């Protein structure tokens, strides 16, 4: 891993992502501008903000989504987290986080960027920062049974059309 390989993967993903005009397009441009000024912006140490990797973990039939009740945030959110030294790309970070937090082996990452979000947060740095979240679709094998990790207060499958109140999870319609 290097800060350079993570930065290059984030820049490539965002450059290839072509959202329609509107909020997604504006966010894409803002994150690309951030990366242009922050060579180490994919690492947690970059206190003004940093790229994070999230996993929209769907059941094999894409009818359910796996959410974690995050102890620090206090809400149901998608799985994911910080890029780590062993991650070569942001995609690698998302898949690693999904496996660690779900306990499900054999998850399959769909190529390309699923979406992006920005969240003000006080993360493990202990100071207010921003998570510039790159999201990836990851599909679980049939009959996948999640196992809650120490990073979660709860972990469960939710119907895509019936997410808990207060959830800010990006769900894209099937093409």
pTM here is 0.93
Burial class (CB in 10 A: 0-12, 13-18, 19+), 52: buried
Report the SS3 class of residue 27: helix
For 137-175, how does the pLDDT look when each residue is reduced to its tens digit (9 = 90+)? 999 999 999 999 888 899 999 999 999 988 888 888 654
Helix (H) or strand (E) holding 115: strand 115-122
Average pLDDT over residues 98-120: 95
Q: What is the pLDDT of residue 174?
A: 57
67, 60 in Cβ contact below 8 A? no
What is the C-alpha end-to-end distance of the chain, expressed in Å? 34
For 47-88, how does the pLDDT look when each residue is reduced to its tens digit (9 = 90+)? 888 999 999 999 999 999 999 998 878 889 999 999 997 899
- DSSP character at residue 126: S
């Amino acid at each position: 891993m290097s800060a350079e390989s993570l930065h290059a993967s984030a820049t490539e993903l965002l450059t290839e992502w072509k959202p329609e005009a509107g909020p997604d397009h504006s966010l894409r441009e803002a994150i690309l501008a951030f990366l242009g000024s922050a060579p180490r912006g994919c690492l947690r140490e970059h206190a003004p903000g940093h790229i994070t990797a999230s996993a929209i973990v769907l059941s094999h039939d894409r009818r359910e989504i796996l959410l974690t009740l995050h102890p620090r945030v206090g809400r149901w959110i998608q799985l994911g987290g910080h890029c780590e030294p062993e991650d070569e790309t942001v995609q690698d970070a998302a898949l690693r986080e999904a496996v660690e937090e779900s306990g499900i082996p054999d998850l399959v990452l769909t190529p390309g960027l699923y979406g992006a979000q920005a969240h003000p947060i006080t993360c493990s740095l202990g100071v207010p920062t921003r998570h510039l979240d790159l999201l990836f679709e990851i599909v679980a094998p049939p009959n996948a049974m999640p196992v809650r990790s120490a990073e979660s207060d709860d972990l469960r499958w939710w119907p895509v059309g019936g997410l808990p109140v207060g959830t800010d999870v990006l769900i894209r319609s099937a093409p």
